[in-house]
């Protein structure tokens, strides 16, 4: 089974703090994604990566950055956390092969910024 | 612009009743189509997918979905709902671009009355 793990299930941070969310997948997938999930808005893509050290902005990249130093690991960074970044963050991975677009999700990190 | 619509924000059904969740999309070509389910506090799990071929696809947990090109729809159905089906359901469209992006609908929350 594909396994996508996220470093924390719940996280509470203060405004202005630098926040790191880690995601690891064990299926050698090329593509990795970070989404935020808010009620009524579904999932919105923050950043994605299609290869090591490669990254692309998604629909809402402002206030976020990412790092992908190894194929299995994709980190989301909030440089200076703000209260409007309180949300559920979901990491996903996928392959570009015959099952392209199919994504496998981690359990999510619920981040609260005070 | 590409988009996914799920007209029903919340649906309540009785256990044993049939279920249909609606999904419509806007895209210039025939996309890849997905339904995901999210149980409370969990990540998303793939229920079923359509890439090509037979427009009626079977998924896990007794779910099926039908792709109707003329209506740009991909509705999810289940003949008899179980209490454990209570969850959030997301329809998603996979874009045939080089980066395998997926657009998610806003979700439909399903409640099941015993």
Q: What is the pLDDT of residues B9-62, one digit of tens each?
A: 999 999 999 999 999 999 888 889 999 999 988 889 999 999 888 899 999 999
Kindly report, residue by residue over B94-113, the tens digit of the pLDDT: 887 756 778 899 999 999 99
Residue from A3, A7, A42, A51 to probe the interface with B (highest B Cβ count within 10 Å): A42
Q: How confident is the model at residue B79 (pLDDT cuts 50, 70, 90)?
A: very high
Q: How confident is the model at residue A39 (pLDDT cuts 50, 70, 90)?
A: confident
Please list every residue in chain B whose beta carbon sits closer than 8 Å to the beta carbon of residue A42. Answer: 4, 90, 104-107
pLDDT at residue A98, as a whole number? 61
Kindly report, residue by residue over A60-102, the tens digit of the pLDDT: 999 999 999 999 999 999 999 999 999 999 999 988 766 677 8
More confident residue, B69 or A40: B69
Pick from B45, B40, B65: which is nearest to B55 by CA? Answer: B65
- Per cent of chain B over pLDDT 90 is 75
Say how far apart CA A44 and CA A42 lie, in whole Å.
7
Would you state the structure tokens that stand for residue B93, as one six-digit string? 């469209």
Please list every residue in chain A whose beta carbon sits closer than 8 Å to the beta carbon of residue B100. Answer: 31, 50, 94, 96, 100-101
Say how far apart CA B30 and CA A19 lie, in whole Å.
39
- Share the mean pLDDT of chain B: 92
Say how far apart CA A79 and CA A63 lie, in whole Å.
7
Pick from A83, A31, A4, A40: which is nearest to B42 by CA? Answer: A4
Q: DSSP readout, B48-113?
A: EEE-SS-SEEE-GGG-EEEEEGGGTEEEEEESS--GGG-EEEEEEEE--STT--EEE---EEEEEE
pLDDT at residue B40, as a whole number? 86
* The pairing of beta strand A87-94 with beta strand B3-5: unpaired
């Amino acid at each position: 089974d594909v396994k996508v793990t996220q470093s924390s299930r719940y996280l509470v941070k203060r405004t202005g703090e630098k926040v790191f969310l880690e995601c690891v997948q064990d299926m050698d997938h090329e593509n990795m994604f970070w989404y935020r999930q808010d009620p009524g808005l579904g999932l919105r893509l923050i950043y994605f990566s299609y290869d090591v050290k490669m990254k692309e902005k998604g629909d809402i990249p402002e206030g976020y950055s990412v790092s992908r130093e190894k194929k299995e690991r994709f980190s989301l960074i909030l440089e200076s956390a703000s209260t409007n970044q309180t949300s559920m963050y979901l990491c996903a991975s996928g392959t570009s092969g015959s099952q392209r677009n199919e994504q496998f999700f981690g359990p999510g990190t619920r981040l609260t910024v005070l | 612009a590409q988009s996914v619509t799920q007209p029903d924000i919340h649906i309540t059904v009785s256990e044993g009743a049939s279920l249909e969740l609606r999904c419509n999309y806007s895209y210039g070509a025939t996309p890849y189509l997905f339904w995901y389910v999210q149980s409370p506090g969990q990540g998303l799990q793939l229920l079923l997918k359509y890439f090509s071929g037979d427009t009626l696809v079977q998924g896990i947990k007794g779910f099926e979905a039908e792709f109707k090109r003329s209506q740009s729809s991909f509705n999810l159905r289940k003949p008899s709902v179980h209490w454990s089906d209570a969850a959030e359901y997301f329809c998603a469209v996979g874009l045939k671009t080089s980066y395998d992006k997926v657009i998610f609908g806003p979700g439909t929350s399903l409640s099941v009355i015993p």
